[in-house]
Structure 1
Amino acid sequence: MRRLLAFTLLLSLLVGCQSKEGTSPDSTTDQKQPEIELKYPIPVAATVGMVADLVKNVGREYVNVTQIMGSGVDPHMHKASRDDVQTIMNADLVFYSGLMLEGKMADTLIKVSRNKPVFAVTELIDEKTLLEPEDFNGHYDPHVWMDVAAWSQCVDAVKDALSQVDPKHADVYQKNAAEYKKELEQLHQYGLKTMQSIPEASRTLITSHDAFNYFGRAYGLDVQGVQGISTESEAGLKRINQLVDMLVKKNIKAVFVESSVSKKNITALIDGAKAQGHDIIIGGELFSDAMGEAGTYEGTYTGMLDHNFTTVARALGGTAPEKGMQGKLTR
């Protein structure tokens, strides 16, 4: 079983060692995490909303989680600000996703890991579960949370990390983790049911960038992104023309924008299809690299995926309750 060692992992992010052959996503050495004197609730910093939500659900009353990147923030492009660094320094523990999602924060996380525990939640995911797209230079696709069953494996990484740092409450973290995994299993089953309700000929999901590959694999959709996995890549005219031709040929009626990515490429697709006499609508806004607003149902991981499942199913001709799995959707 792989154990997290933040310095080694983050160094591998910088030198590009996350390859399929000969190395695992999280390299292993005998380096120990720095020891800390705990105070409750434990101050925790988490990079993105999906990670923060994991820690909140496992730690509950024993943690106070501060999320670094808020709603609508693109983690691929985010560089640590002075306030971000202060948030990290004020925390006793730091959690991040890993798999190069927060690549521009690598330097900051390396420095912090010398003085306090830093954990990647993806450390325990089975490598066989990870996708390695051809155009991603030997690295794994970091958008694992789009497959609820795969992301559920991250619950144990958080549970183990909190238990390691706070063994006094290990039994509580174990119980909380088990309860949360049951919730995630219900969410996964909802995703399977709603996506299977879409007519087979309509199961094509076109979005701004390739954040939905795990989503497509898990729930049976052909996923096409205008940009590559990282939003740093620019969409070329050739790629846009290819997708326009696909839209027309397959008579696809809806495409989707993302809450944390510019809409300009999706607009180009719609305009290109219209020029060929094919009208397309925006089927809705999906959450990809960031969740909804804090304090809302969509601002939780369950709400984020419930929204995506429900929005995609209804736009592509499937069946899903208007307010989602739990009747809580607000948008």
Structure 2
Amino acid sequence: MTLSRRQLLTSATALPLAVALPIRLSAAEPMNVVATTGMIADTAMRIGGDLVEVKGLMGPGVDPHSYRQTRTDIVAMTRADLVLCHGLYLEAQMEEFLHALARRRSVVAVAEAVPRDKLRAHADYADKFDPHVWMDPILWRPVAAAVAGALSEVRPEGADVFAANLAELDETLVRLDAYAREVLATIPDNARVLVTAHDAFSYFGRAYDMEVLGIQGISTESEAGLNRIRALVDTLVERRVGAVFVESSVSDRNMRALIEGAAAQGHEVRIGGELFSDAMGLPGTYEGTYPGMIDHNVTTIAAALGGTVPERGMDGRLKAGI
């Protein structure tokens, strides 16, 4: 699964070819890593262990589609030994800066490691892909391998540590997928409709046989028109969908419009819960980790749509009230 940094940066939609050589560090100093998203930051910390210090740029509730680098971010990235970005046009507003930075620093777009035949087309851009690959833990496996490979290029003497930590994380990802399949399979067939604020769950739906309907498109920059909202209201009413889901990084304004529209037609729809779509939960919480994010989403969705879930999720670590 591990791709070299050169392979990542020369893939179809990756960063430019003019890149700086990897920085080599002494064994005494931790590697200074900057990651754009929380999901990548958590993955880098799990794989890097004590050999890395990781700074994530986008915290809880932050929308990566519209995020622009701050002066503090620029300083952090230009001083970093390694910058890990997602790629696949997720950080659309940062792309120009990341291209320029890649000429001077080690920058790796880790989601570019996902095989192209596993990616879904982007609904809004003909030459792009849906970037939300973290919604399927199995698709996150090559991303994690790319993180390990990037860390090893900067600190070759840590490669064995990174490989061991990657193997442990890989087991967790396989367990997450098995848990998701088990509990989501308990949702009744007529209730397997996931309605969310934007189309971030298509990989999730494909992996776990769920129909996914997003109000906005793949990017939150796309606007939800009145026709789209009316059509979704009609779908909720006709199919008797009883629950919809808000997202932690997207305004619930459109979702409230859906609920009110359905109510006007005599059909009650409730909020099934808040999902983590483009950002994780609060730092220091289980939900603020990648496994916790997926565990929370799976458990919340299954419970709200009539499935059977264990108390507090896969390992009993979710906060009470799911």
Give the TM-score taking structure 1 as reference length.
Answer: 0.91
Runs of 5+ in structure 2 lacking a partner? none
1:243 maps onto 2:232 in alignment: yes
Contact 2:3-2:145 within 8 A present in 1 as well: no
Offset of 1:59 from its aligned partner?
0.7
Aligned to 1:36: 23
Contact 2:81-2:154 within 8 A present in 1 as well: no
Offset of 1:36 from its aligned partner?
1.8
Per-residue CA distance 1:129-183 (angstroms, 9 max, x = gap): 1000444323100000001101111111111111112111111111111111001
Structure-to-structure mapping, 1:106-145, within 5 angstroms: 106-145=95-134
Per-residue CA distance 1:268-321 (angstroms, 9 max, x = gap): 000000000000000000000000011110000000000000000000000112
Which among 50, 53, 62 is matched to residue 39 of structure 2?
A: 50
User: In the aligned structure 2, how far is the partner of 1:181 from the partner of 1:241?
Assistant: 42
1:161 maps onto 2:161 in alignment: no
Structure-to-structure mapping, 1:187-266, within 5 angstroms: 187-266=176-255
User: In the aligned structure 1, how far is the partner of 2:231 from the partner of 2:267?
Assistant: 15
**Structure 2 letter corresponding to 1:35:** P
Contact 2:197-2:255 within 8 A present in 1 as well: yes
Runs of 5+ in structure 1 lacking a partner? 10-22
Contact 2:13-2:88 within 8 A present in 1 as well: yes
1:24 maps onto 2:26 in alignment: no
User: In the aligned structure 2, how far is the partner of 1:35 from the partner of 1:28?
Assistant: 15
**Aligned residue-pair number:** 317
User: In the aligned structure 1, how far is the partner of 2:47 from the partner of 2:22?
Assistant: 21
Contact 2:133-2:140 within 8 A present in 1 as well: yes
User: In the aligned structure 2, how far is the partner of 1:27 from the partner of 1:112?
Assistant: 10
User: In the aligned structure 1, how far is the partner of 2:258 from the partner of 2:266?
Assistant: 13
Aligned to 1:284: 273
User: In the aligned structure 2, how far is the partner of 1:310 from the partner of 1:131?
Assistant: 25
Aligned to 1:312: 301
Identity across the alignment (%): 49
1:60 maps onto 2:52 in alignment: no
Contact 1:71-1:291 within 8 A present in 2 as well: yes
